[in-house]
Structures are given as C-alpha cells and as structure tokens.
C-alpha cells in the first residue's frame, strides 16, 4: 500500500460537511461523545446544530429521528460497532420502519469498520455491521475504500433523503480514486482475464496489493470495488462479473452471513451464472489475539499470501 497522502475518511467527510453547514441551516450533527480533530471546527462553528448526547447510543438514534422528522438532515456519529449494534432496535423501528412511511434523512456515520481498531479487541472490532444493516429494509449502505469517496458522499447524503449507514475506516488510508460517481455504486478498478476480485472498504487496498502480486506470478486478476452495498445496480454489476470464469470476494467481516459474499452469490444465482465463486473473510469466531491489523489478517487467512493462495485454488 502506498504511504502518500494518507487521510482519515471521517476527517475529509466532516471537513466537507462543515463547508456545507455554512450555507445549509438544515443540517444537524449529533454524536455520542466521539470526536475527530476535524470535528473541533464543526463543534465551535455550529454550536446550535452540534449536539453531543453523551455516551447514549439509543438516544443518539432517537434524537436524530426526531430532528429528521422535523425536516432536518441529520448525521449521527459514533464508533461503528456501538452505532450499529447498541441501538439496533432504535435503527430498526425509527429509521428502517419509520422511513417507509415518512421521510427520514438520518446518516449513521460509523467509524472503525472491520479491524480498524485492531488492538482494542473484539468489542471494538466491527465484523457484523454489513450483514445486520443489510437485513433491515430501507437503509442504504455506503462502504467506501478511500477518503475521496468519503468526501464525495456528502453531497449524496444531503440529496438522497433516506436513512443511510456510512461505514468509515478508522485508519488514515491513501487515495484510490481521483474522482467519484457515487450513484454508480461500484468501480471496476482493473480489468482482468483470469478472475475478478470483488472487495469493499479497506480490503480493496489489500486486493490492489494482491492483484499486483498475482500479476508478477502471471495471473491477470480484475478488481471491482463496491462502495454502495445498497442500493446496487445488479444488472450493471453482473454484466461485468459474467465475463469472468471465477470470482473471489474479500471482506473484512464475517463470511456466510449476508455480507459482501452474499450480495455477489445472490446476484450470480439470480443470473444462473456458471461462475466459480470463493469468499474470503472471517470465520465464525471473535478475535481475542493482540496485534496489528495486518497481523490479525495473517492469523485469519486474510493476508496477501493467503489471498494469492486462495486465488490459485480457485483457478485450479
């Protein structure tokens, strides 16, 4: 991974949002006692529209819902596992159900996707969020792989008046994109002949490294980064995937549980495509091992060498 121009998704997003708040009086930023260096400007500039509810995630969602029902565009900001799992029923009833009847533009901004908070242990790891948020109807899911996408999403989040879950990585990452088309939902970062790797979020960076390594070993892998997990233009996506003989999904979450793997599998099944599919992700156990994100990936079969090995097994 390149080490240039590293930036945190939340910082870029909040900076851009701050700019919008200068002219848009209808934006509220609500947090559950969670910060960011860039949040300091927002906090001091918009004292009347920045609300810290305290360490109270249920209240975070309920207050945000009430504000949205009064017509405000709301950002509910917290650490991803606490934002999605502590107030799951508040999200289910007040965002997922309520938005089917009335307009509710609440953007759940979660920081710490996957193993972003590597050494903080399993309470801070977030390996379930894609699956559990996908189960809820009416909620859009944005899973960006870089800060360019994150910054580009601000406009979309104001324009599309639906509840959304934004799963931001917790670590500063280099850019992948130069410009973004959020509405398209995904991007074919590289075309290949032998197989297509499908990834989301942080794992797209690892996939890029794997694709380079595979290339050195004579394997031509394509790479598709899905950043809008819902809504997703399945026609458009599977018109690309059907050109391949093999597809490998890589996600930093539990597999076989309605995550990225299931999006791809269900899509291929609908098309009755005869494509060999393999999924990489975490198996059915929490991670109590201590170490860096890459170390934890190595231990769990998500290291670059493991990915290359899996690709070879898939290609037979």
Partner 1 sequence: MAMSDKYSESKLLKEKSEWVRKETLKIHKVAHETRLASSLSAVEIFVALYYGKIINFNPKNTAWEGRDRFIISKGHGAISFYPVLADLGFFPKEYLNNVCKAGCILGGIPDAIIPGFETVNGSLGHGLGVGCGMALGLKRKKCKEKVFVLVGDGELYEGSIWEAVMFAAEHELDNLILIVDDNKVCMLDYCKNVIDLAPLDKKFEAFGWVTRKVDGHDTEELYKSLRHFKDNDDKRPKVLIANTVKGKGVARLEKDSLSHIKNLSADEVDTLVSELG
- From the list 1, 16, 2, 293, the residue with the least C-alpha distance to 148 is 16
In the complex with partner 1, the residue whose CB is nearer, 90 or 204, is 90
Q: Which stretch binds partner 1 (CB under 8 A): 86-94, 121-129, 159-167, 190-198?
A: 86-94
Length of the chain: 316
User: Residues in contact with partner 1, total (CB under 8 A)?
Assistant: 29
Q: Which stretch binds partner 1 (CB under 8 A): 34-42, 47-55, 144-152, 234-242?
A: 47-55
Single residue of 67, 223, 258, 280 touching partner 1 by CB under 8 A: 67
The pattern of x and - marking residues 97 through 116 that bind partner 1 according to CB under 8 A reads xx--xx--------------
Q: Which stretch binds partner 1 (CB under 8 A): 9-17, 69-77, 166-174, 228-236?
A: 69-77
Single residue of 14, 17, 31, 63 touching partner 1 by CB under 8 A: 63
Q: What whole-number distance in Å separates Cα of residue 64 and Cα of residue 76? A: 7
Q: Which stretch binds partner 1 (CB under 8 A): 66-74, 243-251, 262-270, 295-303?
A: 66-74
Q: Output the CA torsion 90→91→96→102 (10° steps).
A: 60
Q: What whole-number distance in Å separates Cα of residue 153 and Cα of residue 203? A: 19
In the complex with partner 1, the residue whose CB is nearer, 31 or 53, is 53
Pairing mode, strands 276-282 and 246-254: parallel
At residue 31's C-alpha, the angle toward residues 111 and 169, to 5°, is 5
In the complex with partner 1, the residue whose CB is nearer, 102 or 179, is 102
- 69 interacts with partner 1 by CB under 8 A: yes
- 188 interacts with partner 1 by CB under 8 A: no
In the complex with partner 1, the residue whose CB is nearer, 50 or 254, is 50
- 58 interacts with partner 1 by CB under 8 A: yes
Dihedrals phi, psi of 94, to nearest 5 degrees: -85, -20
Provide the terminal-to-terminal Cα distance of the chain, rounded to the nearest Å.
28
In the complex with partner 1, the residue whose CB is nearer, 53 or 280, is 53
Dihedrals phi, psi of 46, to nearest 5 degrees: -125, 60
**Which residue matches tokens 């850019």?**
175
* Cα-to-chain-centroid distance, residue 267: 19
In the complex with partner 1, the residue whose CB is nearer, 28 or 282, is 28
The CB density around residue 283, as the number of other CB atoms within 10 Å, is 9
Q: What whole-number distance in Å separates Cα of residue 111 and Cα of residue 8? A: 10
Q: Which stretch binds partner 1 (CB under 8 A): 36-44, 70-78, 182-190, 273-281?
A: 70-78
In the complex with partner 1, the residue whose CB is nearer, 103 or 305, is 103
Classify residue 95 as exposed, middle or buried by CB count within 10 Å of its CB (0-12, 13-18, 19+). buried
Q: Footprint of partner 1 on this chain (CB under 8 A)? A: 28, 48-49, 51, 53-54, 56, 58-59, 61-72, 89-90, 93-94, 97-98, 101-102
């Amino acid at each position: 991974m390149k080490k240039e121009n590293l930036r945190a998704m939340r910082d870029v997003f909040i900076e851009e949002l701050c700019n919008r708040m200068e002219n848009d009086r209808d934006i509220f930023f609500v947090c559950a006692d969670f910060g960011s260096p860039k949040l300091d400007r927002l906090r001091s500039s918009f004292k009347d529209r920045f609300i810290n509810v305290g360490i109270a995630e249920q209240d975070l969602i309920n207050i945000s819902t009430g504000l949205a029902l009064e017509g405000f565009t709301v950002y509910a900001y917290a650490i991803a596992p606490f934002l999605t799992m502590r107030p799951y029923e508040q999200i289910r009833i007040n965002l997922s159900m309520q938005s089917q009847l009335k307009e509710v533009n609440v953007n759940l901004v979660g920081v710490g996707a996957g193993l972003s908070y590597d050494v903080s242990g399993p309470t801070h790891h977030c390996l379930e969020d894609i699956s559990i948020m996908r189960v809820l109807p009416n909620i859009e899911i944005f899973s960006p792989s870089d800060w360019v996408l994150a910054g580009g999403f601000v406009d979309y989040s104001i324009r599309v008046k639906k509840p959304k879950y934004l799963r931001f990585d917790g670590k500063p990452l280099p850019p992948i994109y130069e410009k973004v088309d959020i509405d398209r939902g995904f991007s074919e970062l590289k075309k290949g002949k032998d197989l297509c790797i499908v990834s989301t979020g942080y794992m797209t960076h690892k996939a890029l490294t794997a694709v380079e390594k595979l290339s050195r070993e004579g394997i031509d892998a394509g790479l598709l980064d899905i950043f809008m997990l819902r809504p997703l233009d399945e026609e458009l996506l599977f018109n690309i995937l059907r050109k391949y003989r093999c597809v490998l999904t890589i996600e930093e979450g539990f597999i076989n549980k309605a995550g990225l793997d299931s999006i791809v599998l269900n899509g291929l099944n609908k098309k009755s495509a005869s494509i060999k599919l393999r999924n990489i992700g975490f198996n059915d156990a929490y991670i109590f091992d201590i170490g860096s994100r890459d170390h934890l990936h190595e231990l769990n079969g998500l290291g670059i060498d493991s990915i290359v090995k899996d690709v070879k097994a898939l290609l037979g």
